[in-house]
Amino acid sequence: MGTALLGRPVAAASGDYEAMLVNCIDPRFTTNSLQHMTTNGMRDKYSQFVIAGGPIGAVHERFAPWHGAFWDNLDITVQLHNIKRVVALTHRDCGAAKLAFGDAAVATRQSETEAHAAALRVFSAEVRRRKPTLVVVAGIMDLNGTVDAVS
């Protein structure tokens, strides 16, 4: 094992880990995302892919040039980390979602929920198509850090 700068032992780059977290670049959700993963028993057991809009950025046509980077990263994390699931989190009041869906689609909580849920379902279906053994856990994070599951 190597040693991190703070003296904490770190595990090897490959091995068996629980998940890949796909979430947004918005700094307001950094701590909440860590807390969500910790609460769900995955602290230090997941890789992370951070992109504007999170799962929305990985599948929405507005961000098509980014898609390959995400899918390549999913391939490598499956190969290196032997993950079992993908945790896909979008969040409320997301600028990338507004760019992707338009102002009207995120103008109310209900329409925002519907737009995010539709994108998360597309994302989940695409992960399952490409990696049928992976479980996808999808949700919309509120500004207070709570997550509403999307199935």
CATH code for position 16: 3.40.1050.10
The whole domain housing 110 covers: 12-150
Total structural domains within the chain = 1
122-149 tens-digit pLDDT: 999 999 999 999 999 999 999 999 999 9
In the prediction, which pLDDT does 5 show? 47
Tokens of 82: 């032997």
Burial class (CB in 10 A: 0-12, 13-18, 19+), 132: exposed
**What is the predicted pLDDT for the residue at 22?**
98
Confidence of residue 15 (pLDDT cuts 50, 70, 90): confident
Asked if the model's pLDDT at residue 2 lies above 60, the reply is no
Is residue 26, in this structure, part of any structural domain at all? yes
**Amino acid identity, position 129:** R
